[in-house]
């Protein structure tokens, strides 16, 4: 472990921000805009194909200056440099954190323990490309000679959310003769409903698991294998219909998949950062290797922007600092991500793992309990659907919920006036949130006095607007990397390890202890608390009746 850093709360910029927040608490966005005609220009920036307008935030130039100073004093630059240099910044697992190497060009060189990882990355990408091309062209067929028409990814968490989100996001670019499906839940319904809809002769299963020990994935993989053998009447079919994506060759072999049919990655790729690795195989089959590489290209562009741009013109840093401002100084508990694009409907779910598994930590790098707020709750839905569900709370509720609105200038499905209507709503929502409608304005419209409070919008509700040209593979890559580095920025300032996830262990351990108790023939001696014991007994009683 390195020398413990001081708590961020002791840094001069943090102390100054605490005082500054008291002054800014009562300042209205209406006033900030009225006082400064150049505000939109001052607080917006374009880089790597993303235009970010952050002017509708409760910040001034002084706020931003202090936040940038905080990033500097907290050692963001050093930590960022250490990540890109392949240093073991995941200290609790003693690992480098190098998802940026997964999208580095062939010409790059990144050393981990003296070993250049870039050639290995491209070797796997090349193998994936050859395999994806063979599936797409029909050169590779199933046990009975049929082309693959269904690709089922069996994985969970980072081995599911990334490719599932991206396959949905880039559906426009996908081969429509190949049906991509994702089974993650150990709830048998997930697999059963998928199997019901597919033809075993033309199905390729990708068992995707970094560790290859994840209970849900192995349970699904075993059931899928049994189904395939049963339907095709031969255990030999498994070799043609199953491939593995993992870092654990031993377990892959033990499961019965030849390592020739395994696509590897490395322990320096965190699950939630693994889409650009072999974990993206299902996506590559769907959109083709060339477009997959465009996605990587977009990610690399954002990596380079993050690595080189000064903090006050660095999109991930700006987003991270603004999020931290609300989280640590203005009391926000969550933030909403609102993509105005149906293709991005799984993006909020993807960001939930990225952000909450990374920064949902309660101790700092030295193991000291933190005295400040760390990662927020992330949630969201695509617009305009969300407007008819939870936007009421955003506009008139009592909670402060900063929002990221993500939209595109051009639609991939231009249909009559749909896109202009969509985008009119997109712009209208941030305007309404920021500026609201005062009681005087409501009353002047002739609204009955008793209804005026109900129809008043306080405004002063913050948002960022991210505007991109078109949802291309490169644009998606830039967006993903933007949020990855935003999360990194915040984790660095909070002085926490954004790259481990010990918090998921306890539940897994307890489940493995409970599982045999549920199925034991004779009544087991239960040694849990009285609530858990009673619930298990009730389940056992009901299970026997079925």
Q: Is 272 in the site for ligand F6P (CB under 6 A)?
A: yes
Least distance (Å) between residue 254 CB and ligand F6P? 15
CA distances from 108 to 85, 102, 118 (A): 12, 11, 7
Q: Is 210 in the site for ligand F6P (CB under 6 A)?
A: yes
Where does this chain touch ligand F6P (CB under 6 A) — which range of 155-163, 316-324, 428-436, 524-532?
155-163
Nearer to ligand F6P, 159 or 327 (CB): 159
Number of residues that bind ligand F6P (CB under 6 A): 14
Nearer to ligand F6P, 217 or 465 (CB): 217
Q: Is 135 in the site for ligand F6P (CB under 6 A)?
A: no
Question: What per-residue string of b and e applies to 477-500 under the rule 16 or more CB within 10 Å gives b?
Answer: bbbbbbbbbbbbbbbbbbbbbbbb
Q: Is 277 in the site for ligand F6P (CB under 6 A)?
A: no
Nearer to ligand F6P, 222 or 395 (CB): 222
Bridge partners for 116 per DSSP: 111
Least distance (Å) between residue 507 CB and ligand F6P? 9
Where does this chain touch ligand F6P (CB under 6 A) — which range of 156-164, 179-187, 333-341, 466-474?
156-164
For the question of residue 441 being annotated catalytic, the response is no
Q: Where are any strands of DSSP class E within 357-508?
A: 377-379, 403-408, 463-468
Q: Is 97 in the site for ligand F6P (CB under 6 A)?
A: no
Neighbouring residues of 479: CB distance < 8 A, sequence distance ≥ 6: 50, 347, 406, 466, 468
CA distances from 207 to 38, 210, 276, 292, 473 (A): 53, 10, 17, 20, 24
Q: Is 511 in the site for ligand F6P (CB under 6 A)?
A: no
Q: Is 92 in the site for ligand F6P (CB under 6 A)?
A: no
- Give the number of C-alpha atoms closer than 13 A to the C-alpha of residue 46, restricted to the C-beta side: 7
Where does this chain touch ligand F6P (CB under 6 A) — which range of 37-45, 208-216, 411-419, 428-436?
208-216
Nearer to ligand F6P, 56 or 210 (CB): 210
Where does this chain touch ligand F6P (CB under 6 A) — which range of 94-102, 204-212, 318-326, 526-534?
204-212
Neighbouring residues of 171: CB distance < 8 A, sequence distance ≥ 6: 286, 343
Site for ligand F6P in 443-502 (CB under 6 A): 501
Least distance (Å) between residue 217 CB and ligand F6P? 5
Nearer to ligand F6P, 49 or 375 (CB): 375
Q: Which helix (H) or strand (E) holds 339?
A: strand 334-339
Catalytic residue among 388, 399, 418, 454: 388
The count of other CB atoms within 10 Å of the CB of residue 409 is: 11
For the question of residue 253 being annotated catalytic, the response is no
- Radius of gyration of the CA atoms of the chain, in A: 25
Pairing of strands 150-154, 203-208: parallel
Catalytic residue among 201, 301, 357, 517: 357
The runs of H, that is alpha helices, within 274-416 are 281-287, 289-308, 315-329, 347-351, 358-359, 391-396
SS3 per-residue string spanning 349-365 = HHHHHHHHHHHCCCECC
Least distance (Å) between residue 279 CB and ligand F6P? 8
Pairing of strands 50-53, 111-112: unpaired
Query: Rounded CA gap, 358 and 499, in Å?
Result: 6
Give the x-and-dash track for 328-357 against ligand F6P (CB under 6 A): -----------------------------x
- Closest to 184 (Cα-Cα) out of 282, 292, 289: 282
The residue number whose beta carbon is nearest to ligand F6P equals: 271
Nearer to ligand F6P, 8 or 264 (CB): 264
Least distance (Å) between residue 215 CB and ligand F6P? 9
Query: Rounded CA gap, 350 and 479, in Å?
Result: 12
Choosing from 209, 384, 460, 465, the residue that interacts with ligand F6P (CB under 6 A) is 209
SS3 content of the chain, % helix, strand, coil (to 5): 55, 10, 35
Query: Rounded CA gap, 543 and 546, in Å?
Result: 5
Give the x-and-dash track for 157-196 against ligand F6P (CB under 6 A): xxx-------------------------------------
Where does this chain touch ligand F6P (CB under 6 A) — which range of 35-43, 45-53, 152-160, 511-519?
152-160
Least distance (Å) between residue 417 CB and ligand F6P? 41
Nearer to ligand F6P, 215 or 451 (CB): 215
DSSP assigned state of 158: G
Task: Map residue 163 onto helix, strand or coil.
Answer: helix
Nearer to ligand F6P, 163 or 402 (CB): 163
Site for ligand F6P in 353-382 (CB under 6 A): 357
- Closest to 462 (Cα-Cα) out of 73, 86, 12, 63: 63
For the question of residue 94 being annotated catalytic, the response is no
Least distance (Å) between residue 105 CB and ligand F6P? 26
Least distance (Å) between residue 186 CB and ligand F6P? 12
Query: Rounded CA gap, 454 and 91, in Å?
Result: 52
Least distance (Å) between residue 211 CB and ligand F6P? 3
Choosing from 214, 358, 464, 465, the residue that interacts with ligand F6P (CB under 6 A) is 214
Q: What are the DSSP calls for 18-68, one per residue?
A: HHHHHHHTT--HHHHHHH-TTHHHHTEEEETTEEEE-TTSS--HHHHHHHH
Choosing from 73, 185, 211, 396, the residue that interacts with ligand F6P (CB under 6 A) is 211
Least distance (Å) between residue 292 CB and ligand F6P? 19
Interface with ligand F6P by CB under 6 A: which residues? 156-159, 209-211, 214, 217, 271-272, 357, 501, 504
Q: List the catalytic residues.
A: 357, 388, 508
């Amino acid at each position: 472990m390195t020398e413990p850093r001081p708590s961020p709360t002791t840094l001069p910029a943090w102390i100054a921000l605490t005082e500054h927040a008291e002054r800014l608490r009562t300042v209205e966005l209406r006033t900030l805009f009225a006082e400064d005609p150049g505000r939109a220009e001052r607080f917006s920036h374009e880089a790597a194909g993303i235009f970010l307008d952050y002017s509708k935030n409760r910040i001034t130039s002084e706020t931003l200056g202090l936040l940038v100073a905080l990033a500097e004093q907290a050692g963001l630059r050093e930590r960022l440099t250490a990540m890109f240099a392949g240093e073991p910044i995941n200290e609790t697992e003693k690992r480098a954190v190098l998802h940026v190497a997964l999208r580095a060009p062939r010409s790059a060189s990144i050393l981990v323990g003296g070993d250049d990882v870039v050639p290995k990355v491209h070797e796997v990408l090349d193998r994936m490309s050859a395999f994806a091309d063979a599936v797409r062209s029909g050169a590779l067929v199933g046990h009975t000679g049929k082309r693959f028409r269904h690709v089922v990814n069996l994985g969970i968490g980072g081995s599911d959310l990334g490719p599932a989100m991206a396959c949905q996001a880039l559906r426009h670019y996908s081969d429509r003769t190949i049906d991509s499906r994702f089974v993650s839940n150990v709830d048998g319904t997930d697999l059963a409903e998928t199997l019901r809809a597919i033809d075993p002769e033309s199905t390729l299963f990708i068992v995707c698991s970094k560790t290859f020990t994840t209970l849900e994935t192995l349970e699904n993989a075993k059931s899928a294998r049994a189904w395939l053998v049963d339907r095709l009447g031969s255990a030999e079919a498994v070799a043609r219909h199953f491939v593995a994506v993992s870092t654990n060759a031993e377990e892959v072999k033990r499961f019965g998949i030849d390592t020739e049919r395994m696509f590897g990655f490395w322990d320096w790729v965190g699950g939630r950062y693994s889409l650009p690795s072999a974990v993206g195989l299902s996506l590559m089959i769907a959109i083709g290797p060339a477009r997959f590489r465009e996605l990587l290209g977009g990610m690399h562009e954002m990596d380079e922007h993050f690595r080189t741009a000064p903090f006050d013109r660095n999109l991930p840093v700006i987003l991270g600092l603004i999020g931290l401002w609300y989280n640590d100084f203005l009391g926000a508990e969550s933030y909403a991500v609102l993509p105005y694009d149906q293709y991005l409907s799984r993006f909020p779910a993807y960001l939930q793992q990225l952000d909450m598994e990374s920064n949902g930590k309660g101790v700092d790098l030295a193991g000291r309990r933190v005295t400040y707020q760390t990662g927020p709750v992330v949630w969201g839905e695509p617009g305009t659907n969300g407007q008819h569900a939870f936007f009421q709370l955003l506009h008139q509720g009592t909670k402060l919920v900063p929002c990221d609105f993500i939209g595109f200038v051009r639609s991939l499905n231009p249909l009559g006036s749909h896109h202009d209507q969509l985008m009119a709503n997109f712009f209208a929502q941030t305007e309404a949130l920021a500026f609201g409608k005062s009681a005087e304005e409501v009353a002047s419209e002739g609204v009955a006095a008793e209804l005026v409070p109900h129809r008043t919008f306080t405004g002063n509700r913050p948002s960022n607007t991210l505007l991109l040209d078109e949802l291309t593979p490169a644009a998606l890559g830039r967006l993903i990397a933007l949020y990855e580095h935003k999360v990194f920025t915040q984790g660095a300032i909070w002085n926490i390890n954004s790259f481990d996830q010990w918090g998921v262990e306890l539940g897994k351990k307890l489940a493995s202890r409970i599982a045999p108790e549920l199925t034991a023939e004779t009544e087991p001696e239960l040694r849990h608390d009285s609530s858990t014991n009673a619930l298990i007994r009730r389940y056992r009683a009901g299970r026997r009746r079925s």
